[in-house]
Amino acid sequence: MSPDTPCVDHTPAPPGASPVATVNGVPLHTAQSIPDTGTLRQRACTELLRQAAQEAGLLSNDDQANTDGVCTEAASDAIEALLDSALQIPEASDAACRRHHAAHARRYRSGEKVRARHILFAVTPGVDVQALRNRAEACLLDLRCHVGAQDDCFASAARELSNCPSAALGGELGWLSAADCAAEFSKELLGHPGVGVLPHLVHSRFGLHVVEVLQREPGLAQDYAAVSGAVAMELRQQSYVTALRQYLLLLAGSATVQGVDLESTDTPLVQ
């Protein structure tokens, strides 16, 4: 990945060629097993970091990439060491932490819970993500148009469409706190006041969710002194994500990347 290496190349493969995505000529999968877009981006990011670790002398050049996307233990350790040295993560000031706490006081409540149900449109290998999104959006729109209907349209849709075991219960998830579900899911679930069907799809590592909040228990507000450590950790994580995204784009800019778009900001590795 020398500075004069061509930038990201989105040139399509010639007719008849196997559509294999590569990073500096290293394949990210086989022609017979093409991963979904998100997985492909994640593998490309990991491969950029693996090669950067080799260039930095942190990983033997004998280490080989696997087309199943799984790094060797040595590569994982080398990537961790690379990021420790390459990323500069500033510590948030006390004033910044206080401002963040004041602006996001709901996030730091203690004991906040919601009773919810959902319809999961699962993202699985080989699924057409755009078609899946269209189905999820159509479901969301239909349910929002039937708010207040006598029939329980949400439960019926969950039983018919959801890819979650909760489908048998009409999508019912019971009472949930932040600790009971994935961070990206709980952020949306607890971040909106009131009850009802959330106005947009909720994205998580499992797929796309149509979510309805049935009841809320607001919990107790926590003053800054009680949660200052959690606030500082969250701001540090935000800084880490920003720095990692910028570093990956820098690596991609001096590499030859074919068959995968790394310019998107929703690369799984940096979420």
CATH number reported for the structural domain that contains residue 161 in this entry:
3.10.50.40
pLDDT at residue 264, rounded to an integer: 54
User: Could you give phi then psi for residue 169, rounded to 5 degrees?
Assistant: -105, 20
Q: In this predicted structure, what is the pLDDT of residue 265?
A: 43
Residue 96 lies in a domain: no
Q: Residue 38 has which token pair? A: 């998100």
Q: Does 57 reside within a domain? A: yes
Q: Is the pLDDT of residue 184 over 80?
A: yes
Shared domain check, 262 and 178: no
Q: Please, what sign has the CA dihedral across residues 13, 17, 20, 25?
A: negative
Q: Among all chains, which residue has been given the structure tokens 């499992």?
A: 206
Instruction: Give the predicted TM-score (pTM) of the model.
Output: 0.60
**Res. 124 pLDDT band, cuts 50 70 90:** confident
What pLDDT was estimated at residue 235? 93
For residue 181, is pLDDT > 60? yes
Structural domain boundaries, residue 31:
22-90+232-270
Check residues 269 and 162 and name the one with the higher pLDDT.
Answer: 162
Are 58 and 82 within 8 A, CB to CB? Answer: yes
- pLDDT higher than threshold 70 for residue 116: yes
- Number of compact structural domains in the chain: 2
What single DSSP character describes residue 120?
E
Give a yes or no: residue 1 inside a domain. no
Q: Do residues 134 and 205 both lie within one domain?
A: yes
Residues 124 and 161 in one domain: yes
Q: What is the mean pLDDT of the chain?
A: 84
pLDDT confidence of 74, banded at 50, 70, 90?
A: very high
The answer on 150 and 76 residing in a single domain is no
Same domain, 83 and 164: no
Interval 21-43 mean pLDDT:
86
| Residues 239 and 193 reside in one and the same domain | no
- Structure token pair of residue 196: 């009802």
Same-domain status, 165 and 213? yes
C-alpha to C-alpha distance for 259 and 7, rounded to whole angstroms:
13
Beta bridge partners of 207: 122, 204
**Mean pLDDT confidence for 155-174:** 95
Under the banding of pLDDT at 50, 70 and 90, the label for residue 15 is very low
Query: Structure tokens of 168?
Result: 């048998």
Percent of the chain at pLDDT > 90 equals 51
pLDDT at site 154: 93
Task: Determine which of 124-138, 142-156, 235-249 has the lowest per-residue pLDDT on average.
Answer: 142-156
pLDDT at 38: 76
Is 208 found in the same domain as 116?
yes
**Distances from the Cα of 185 to the Cα of 63, 190, 259, angstroms:** 36, 9, 30
